[in-house]
Chains A and B, each alone.
Chain A
């Protein structure tokens, strides 16, 4: 009996010894390149966004039912722990986030140098430099934006951010349409950038594709640093259409504060 036990222990001990040296992690191999996924998860306040049916209340007591959320994510720049900066090639760095579309939530960036990334920066909209390249300089993205309804016309430019739906307020009791579109105006270009620290390092490796999971608070669009009432923009009761004017720079500023990194997966 005892012999059997000792044998059993010997087996256990040997297998511990063997297995504990066999599996060195691949995390130390920082060569080559890998991929990284940007995941955009739209919410309103603390809640997940549910299109059309969910009433979302602002601090001005306006209730928004949102039917469309789209925005252009662009010019991704990643910073490593050692301060090295990697700028994702401009030719590939334009994406359209779309709440209602299956492929409008996650964007996979490829050929990223392996490394431990601690910071991400991106734009909302299309930068002026890119727009100045002219229609011919836009590559595939022009058609893509057009198909997604994120282009007014070439001359008028891209829509950077679009939020649409209906709203009610203490003064507007029947559901009334609203549309918020940002983009360049005669006075402001309205492209904005956000820089976010990652709570956990994103370990890009040949074998690890991290996902940066962004949580977006759409309440910030009109109920952020700058408070904007849809009912104040409801000229003649025909709906609140905010596509220009003094409110756009305020909304642009609000938009840049609606992104937060919830967490990073290193899978």
Chain B
């Protein structure tokens, strides 16, 4: 695990400093940066509901990227007030790509690989493997074409499918611990998303709303539908050779109750509100980003689970 982090750090480092400066129009645009983090992971683990879609919103741009995401949770292992709290660490490396089909339609794909661990009283448990692959299409409904307007607007709508490529094991849901210690939901899930970006000169606000319809998996388990929302302010510092985009905002997630054999499972619904902040830097064909999310308010699994933090680092390359 450490090796991977080091490798990413090296990649990030080299991309930021080793390329010669050319005073040309960078392939990097700040719309994309702003969108990077907006579809972040689920409170109950990426693994489970695979909501970390991270679809960028840049038009007419091909890119591939890599992101490392770390999520830390603490969950109660048992049904009593003095039941032990255990640490859960969800680590994800995800590859993503975005390909425009027409001027207004883009296809995105996201392939996560998870390394998750939880420190149960009985010993540490690890799961590792491919997560749920998401494929989505985005359509630009409206975009301000003129540069001269005071505000520019852009609206994207999209939808897609999350494939059950991550393993769902019933055994991981036994007992009274977090029901999301899984590599995937095991089900075909269907996200619909909307994005709205409003900008004035270098300052912008990006708003996203998305909803993931989740279906019953082959083990008759069904994760609750999920609603994600986020609003992020960003500002573009367009320096000679690099662009730097600091960003800050709020992001929230609301989970419906999970079901098993169509029966509601108690203490599986919840909601959480995060503050988020980060910075992205772009240079030539590369961009790197660092992001952090800290909970402001949360009520997950009737208080039996707490999100501590999430952070991510990513590297993108424009094709």
Contacts and interface: CB of A to CB of B under 8 A. Distances in A.
Contacts of A7: none
B176 A203 contact: no
Interface residues of A, number: 32
Given A25-B220, A47-B82, A213-B79, A12 B161 contact: yes
A50 B78 CA distance: 13
B174 A43 contact: no
A48 B261 contact: no
Contacts of A45: 81
Contact-residue bracket for chain B = 20 to 34
Nearest to A16: B188
A229 interface: no
A266 B260 contact: yes
Given A25-B220, A263-B266, A48 B107 contact: no
B132 to A, nearest CB: 13
Contacts of B135: 8, 12
Contacts, number: 66
Contacts of B78: 48
B238 interface: no
Contacts of A16: 161, 188
Interface in A247-267: 262-263, 265-267
Nearest to A23: B218
Interface string B66-104: 000000000000111111000000000000000101000
Nearest to A28: B261
Given A27-B261, A200-B266, A262 B101 contact: no
Interface of B: 78-83, 99, 101, 107, 135, 161, 163-164, 170, 173-174, 176, 188, 216, 218, 220, 260-267
Interface of A: 1-2, 5, 8, 12, 15-16, 19-20, 23, 25-27, 41, 43, 45-48, 50, 199-201, 203, 208, 213, 215, 262-263, 265-267
